[in-house]
Amino acid sequence: MEVPIHFFAEEIAFELEDESFEKAWLAYLIEQNKRGIEELNFIFVSDTYLLEMNKKHLEHDYYTDILTFAYEENPIMADIYISIERVQDNAQQLQLPFIDELHRVMAHGVLHILGYDDHEENDIELMRKQEEMALSLRDFISR
């Protein structure tokens, strides 16, 4: 059965190396949180693209690595926009492989849809723990 998770690039050239692995990992993360998926779209974009969306939809005039738009929470129907430039900069600053930082940001978006927040200090701490748990789930997915 086809997993209803899709990957797109808007106004940039970007492709994941192993979409089937990404789909299996993300579906497993969602399944572990006892949710279904109707449709989950990841749209990879530039800093400029995401800045304009941030201004338009949230009235925030600053760069961000991710914007999440959840239309339904169970089964999940959502669009997650990710700035590849922000992820590259984050990975470089944190001295991490790009794919690890990309996975953290992808998991972060899914966790928002699952109800986790990151506005208060204790919420941020919980979000970080959930991100680590989500990243550890990659070990259970065969490539």
- Please give the full DSSP string across 38-79, using - where no structure is assigned: EEEEEEEE-HHHHHHHHHHHH---S--SEEEEEEEETTEEEE
Q: Residue 111 sits in which domain range?
A: 5-140
- Residue 94, pLDDT > 70, answer yes
Check residue 116 and report its DSSP letter. Answer: -
CATH code of residue 75 = 3.40.390.30
The pTM score is: 0.94
Provide the pLDDT for residue 58: 87
Hey, what are 3's tokens?
């997993």
Cβ(69)–Cβ(78) below 8 Å: yes
- Please name the residues in contact with 1: beta carbons below 8 A apart, sequence gap of 6 or more: none
Provide the pLDDT for residue 140: 85
| Mean local confidence (pLDDT), 112-117 | 94
State the total domains in the chain: 1
